[in-house]
Structure 1
Amino acid sequence: MSGSIQQAEERSPERLLTPGEVATMFRVDPKTVTRWATAGRIGSIRTPGGHRRFRESEVKSLLATLTREASTPVTAS
């Protein structure tokens, strides 16, 4: 990658997702995503208008973690 393109990507702000977009990724209702944010399970940012937005990197990280946990086989003791 050329230096100027790489620098531009480093300066570009992270994409913020709406509760609806996050809900689609987790296959839940948007109200569930709002409850997760209120409970502190996922971080959110408030827009000047009071709407919630979620950092894409944090959402993808949480999704990957939960997916790994769900796919880990449970062994009988």
Structure 2
Amino acid sequence: MSARTPEAEPLLTPAEVATMFRVDPKTVTRWAKAGKLTSIRTLGGHRRYRETEVRALLAGIPQQRSE
């Protein structure tokens, strides 16, 4: 899959994020709905997450929103 964003930043699937945090993919979706993670929607309606934001959350580094 070739995901392109303006910054050409790598994007992760909910399953990939869930594996990193050792949680269920549905938990990752709940985090996105709660605003803990920013999700990007594909043309097919699937969620993708910015790798840098996910790694920062994993490391416990607070992120400022640029939206």
Normalised-by-shorter TM-score class: 0.7 to 0.9
Q: Secondary structure at the match of 2:27?
A: helix
Give RMSD over aligned pairs: 1.7
Give yes or no for the alignment of 1:54 onto 2:25.
no
Unaligned runs of 5+ in 2: 1-5, 62-67
Question: Which structure has more helix as a fraction of its residues?
Answer: 1
Counterpart position of 2:3: none
Residue 50 of structure 1 deviates from its aligned partner by 0.3
Map 1:1-77 to 2 at 5 A: 13-65=8-60
> How many pairs are equivalent?
56
Distance in 2 between the 1:65 and 1:38 partners?
19
Unaligned runs of 5+ in 1: 1-10, 67-77
Which entry has the higher C-alpha Rg, 1 or 2? Answer: 1
Q: Deviations over 1:1-41 (max 9, x none)?
A: xxxxxxxxxx9711100000000000000000000001111
Under a length normalisation based on structure 1, what TM-score does the superposition of the two structures give?
Answer: 0.68
Under a length normalisation based on structure 2, what TM-score does the superposition of the two structures give?
Answer: 0.78
User: Identical aligned pairs, as a percentage?
Assistant: 71
Q: Which runs of 4+ in 1 moved over 4 A?
A: none
